[in-house]
Structure 1
């Protein structure tokens, strides 16, 4: 992609913070130079269920440099949950070390504080725990389904009459799809440097949502929110794992209070499997009915999953199945099994990434049953009304995404009959999937400071938004440059400090729309106030430098807040897309390669095509990872994770990936927000897995319903009935 040096919205400029990052000058949570800092190391339980009966800290406490060992016996008393099985959210309290009870393997049971990181790590190994082990922990998903209950967090949904819709159909499908446990694993380990001084907390923390982190910390320690400051200037990836405050952060704040010094906690890679969230294992049953002409008559999506034994979270896998297609009879159900694992939480495109694998695989299966082109089958059932809310979409270019993608991909070269395209020992298949992702827009405030230096205006934009590698600094700078009419080089963006104006933080694909409109509002307010002070008409074009001169000001500050309009609230606002994949499968070994991928997206106005392209590439890579290798395996006897490092938890590398084309459709959705911007990051992962699985079926005639799709599974899988082998 050609990189332009121009300023403003719509140009693929380089990241404004890129030089800082490659020079190692961008400070992440564990890199701030805090004086008198000490280190803490969390200790993990070695049973899945039971309680601590004794603790011996004496050997650890004798070591040079050890300042304290904290367990449930001497821990600070924290706020506790006032209900059984509360729902996990981004502001939920995070109490730790409050009782001898053990809920899962790897739960924190203690923490050692020492002068050096190495001393803390070594001393942690010397603390001895004796447990009364419960002989029957709930760690087997298949054997525990009788314990499933209806969760409160995601209510069941229905419209029409599902049974009547299935009876009306000429063809029906009833199939179950499985997506495994997965872990987020951003490059930056979860980390915090916490300081408790005079009843006030300062935390340099790797958090996606600064405001919500201050709420969670203040509520956990029962101190005023104004006495908590969270700083997250740069976040080295999150994918949802850093949305909420996890227990390591509580350990750091607690330890700082007890030893009266700043405390750093950096979670190990092993602990990121047990202590920082995960994606649930989801078993999804799909039932679809359709007429011979391809008209859908019924669609049911039932998800069986699991949560912890002390907190509730349900990944909303049926979200897409409620709204993506024009189907009169629809049913969405959720059931949860309480299990002795940590509480799962949102992982990139929660619900959409996993739910789209089931839905779009099932749509492909139904198209095959109908002997109908899967692109045309989806287009036939397109709708401009969100039937789950009875609201029109603010914009919906799904048909255009499918048609343009098919043309770019060369879909006309696809053979309908599986196993009919071959080159040497390779079976070649083409797959398609439709994608959608809700495009939220949330109230966001920003501050802009204008300063005149040597005849030039320099602007500083401040907000508590975070940049988790997505390009927030850059697109906010471009927005300010656009609305102030100055070069982007004259804009500085300061993010990730709870002392700055409040934003919703990073998550849910609302960042770009929310942050940029917040910056826009602040810039517009600055110009309006400067004009009003000099009785200049609002519509008169005057350079911001001239406005400062006419006001005889060298510095001017303004704030602004952007929020959804009534029109936004009366529409269903989504981004849409289509994925096309070409896969080659060795017919003897089951080894396969993803040769080509084409992604087409309609996500409103693209502020920076370069950073947006990077987001789509990242999403496609994670989607491919779902198919190729990603899974967390549970040890069946003890309930710990067998996969606990990058040596055994595999993610895609460059050689796994395909030649990729990314297409953004020109679109400005002014119902979504004044700038016409929608979220794009999570759209990139949605339904990618289904497009690859569908391509594998087209290549082999083998329908793969359980992720990941390994060569071993492919070799033993039967060819579907009706496929000429």
Structure 2
């Protein structure tokens, strides 16, 4: 690991920023081709049952309509195998193969027309009759059917335990037992999902808003029985994903099917309302937490028991209890997950899946216990800091959560806090301060990259190619920074080519692995290029040469090479997490229950920070979403019909500028020599983790009211 970075870590502005602000960055729905057709899905208007008949006569007669695809005439697709952790993203997704309805809004057809407006209008003319069944919607009504799933998201174990929980609770001087609820939430990235597909002979090209190119390609191949080498997936720019764009969705398969059936390019861009019903969600989690401590605050027992829901046609469960397995030292632990099926669309990964709802429950409970014990929340957490990962006993590669709490407390002014609730006010506003610790797994995966170096009239430039994606996180820029430093070139002489599945493979963007994985592959291939060029040179350099000197010494005008990296055997011996601490000041109107957050402070430890500007942006965006989780965001289902009452941004409320005060982010210097060659840990999901708990804890300090059901709306504070 290099000790000093000149370009890595610098707050370089996004190299693609000018394209974006001038509208020249083309997203999936913004490409155009000759003879392009437009698809618009037909959706189910019931929640459970069977299609009895579909009348498409009026729709087919509508101007501009070219084809209406339903289960009657759909291509026969490859059957879907049972879901496993290994195949969840790549297995076939055979749409329109039967008449069964699993949830409201399910795609039951596709209208293809010459224009988008014609397709959308004709979709309203399709008449469907159903055989309806009583849907399973209500959480409390179906709770009795909860069962133990075999496995959770990302392969986490369903249940874990050590010690004897009940014995630990009996020995405890103080016991807390509370239940916390986090509601259904939606992803709602700025760019809705969209696909363009066209065939040229046997070769398929797809423009898709996807976080992972390789798995999208494989899922298409598995669905349509097309050789993978005949498929190219392109995603040069992506307007956010948050997990909703990790797995190939049904609209993609409908678009490919239409392109194949009509042998013309087809574009399908789903609506904002479909973003609520067809691309996944964060589950409603009910979490019971029990904590037992000694008088001095030492933990003796901790249990975290979660019940949630999944779809009737596919099982997906967040690992919401995972954070309670590793965050604090406790001799007696129990973490369990139970799930029941519903006629609600299948849940999907949502920013920091598991940690986001789980941290609300755990960090709220820790604050409640600290208040009971009359111990400062930071002191309470520090007292229970684990020396190794409690779950697997592996040593930490790096863990700086105590340092984050101390730094955050100093920057925030934690010493101003009065631990007695309702003790600070400003006119009609009750003022409170809260904090919470945060953690998020820091994975690093295998990836490849290619470097092409050219020398034109002594003008040395490099081109970096890899099948990475930039979901708005700054991948283009950090890749350029690493290449520039490693090659000894200025950033402006690095061209980054990503968003193409034909390039050297990577695992895409998601799970906080993107930045570290991409940049380590780039670092490795640049080092390989330098070593190979050095071997072609007869010059003995006194100092380490840059690529300019090496190309000159080798008398070459062009050179390229490809390389890859994967986690080392040494890294597998350690536990890898990013850590942080959040602090919030809240003002609560004692008459109206309105909550304002004038300032929020985050202290973050995530190894090598590749770009301080883009990393800070990631933390700020996570905090903003955490504020939404805490105060406004909730998808409300009409239990009679299974449809959402909250269907657009008019009623699904996300934070806007006026809701956000000053957010300060501080990065703690942290060196991690085992996680990867650059010491990089992910930050994209750490920013949202524990934010809701921080705000709830601050609201308690302000009002004396402990709200355990999110979002914390004025009505709950006025009860």
**TM-score, length-normalised on structure 2?**
0.97
Partners of 1:119 and 1:86 in 2: how far apart? 40
Which residue is 2:155 aligned to?
Answer: none
Change (3 A) 1:7 1:22: farther
Partner secondary structure for residue 272 of structure 2: coil
1:361-419 CA-partner distances (Å, limit 9, x unpaired): 00001111111111100011111300101101100010000111111111111111111
Q: Structure 1 residue 592: deviation in Å? A: 1.4
Partners of 1:555 and 1:191 in 2: how far apart? 38
Give yes or no for contact 2:81–2:92 (8 Å, CA) kept in 1: no
Q: Structure 1 residue 428: deviation in Å? A: 0.9
Where in structure 2 are the equivalents of 1:234-253 lying within 5 Å?
Answer: 234-253=237-256
Q: Structure 1 residue 220: deviation in Å? A: 1.1
Q: Structure 1 residue 454: deviation in Å? A: 2.5
Which residue is 1:181 aligned to?
Answer: 184
Partners of 1:495 and 1:680 in 2: how far apart? 21
Q: 1:519 aligns with which of 518, 522, 530?
A: 522
Which residue is 1:723 aligned to?
Answer: none
Which residue is 2:146 aligned to?
Answer: 148
Where in structure 2 are the equivalents of 1:219-298 lying within 5 Å?
Answer: 219-298=222-301
Partners of 1:85 and 1:447 in 2: how far apart? 32
Change (3 A) 1:88 1:311: farther
Partners of 2:51 and 2:333 in 1: how far apart? 48
Partners of 1:455 and 1:139 in 2: how far apart? 68
Partner secondary structure for residue 432 of structure 1: strand
Alignment of 1:107 with 2:106, yes or no, is yes
Deviates more, 1:263-272 or 1:421-430: 421-430
Give yes or no for contact 1:283–1:303 (8 Å, CA) kept in 2: yes
1:37-94 CA-partner distances (Å, limit 9, x unpaired): 1100001000000001011111111123211100011111112223389998322322
Partners of 1:384 and 1:462 in 2: how far apart? 41
Equivalent residues, number: 710
Q: Structure 1 residue 534: deviation in Å? A: 2.3
Where in structure 2 are the equivalents of 1:683-722 lying within 5 Å?
Answer: 683-716=686-719
Alignment of 1:31 with 2:30, yes or no, is yes
Give yes or no for contact 2:92–2:219 (8 Å, CA) kept in 1: yes
Give yes or no for contact 2:436–2:690 (8 Å, CA) kept in 1: yes
Partners of 1:48 and 1:624 in 2: how far apart? 32
Q: Structure 1 residue 559: deviation in Å? A: 0.9
Alignment of 1:96 with 2:95, yes or no, is yes
Partner secondary structure for residue 391 of structure 1: coil
Q: 2:207 aligns with which of 204, 209, 215?
A: 204
Q: Structure 1 residue 692: deviation in Å? A: 0.3
Which residue is 2:437 aligned to?
Answer: 434
Which residue is 2:55 aligned to?
Answer: 56
Which residue is 1:47 aligned to?
Answer: 46
Alignment of 1:562 with 2:560, yes or no, is no
Partner secondary structure for residue 310 of structure 1: coil
Alignment of 1:363 with 2:352, yes or no, is no
Give the unaligned 5+ runs of structure 1.
1-5, 717-725
1:453-501 CA-partner distances (Å, limit 9, x unpaired): 2212111101111000000000000000000000000000011100000
Q: Structure 1 residue 538: deviation in Å? A: 9.1
Partners of 1:87 and 1:452 in 2: how far apart? 44
Give yes or no for contact 1:85–1:312 (8 Å, CA) kept in 2: no
Partner secondary structure for residue 566 of structure 1: coil
Give yes or no for contact 1:85–1:311 (8 Å, CA) kept in 2: no
Partners of 1:575 and 1:697 in 2: how far apart? 27
Which residue is 1:396 aligned to?
Answer: 399
Partners of 2:463 and 2:676 in 1: how far apart? 23
1:105-136 CA-partner distances (Å, limit 9, x unpaired): 000010000111111111111111110111x1
Change (3 A) 1:538 1:184: farther
Which residue is 2:488 aligned to?
Answer: 485
Where in structure 2 are the equivalents of 1:533-548 lying within 5 Å?
Answer: 533-535=536-538, 541-548=544-551
Partners of 2:540 and 2:695 in 1: how far apart? 57
Give yes or no for contact 1:213–1:244 (8 Å, CA) kept in 2: yes
Partners of 2:32 and 2:456 in 1: how far apart? 31
Aligned-residue CA RMSD in angstroms? 1.4
**TM-score, length-normalised on structure 1?**
0.96
Partners of 1:234 and 1:384 in 2: how far apart? 42
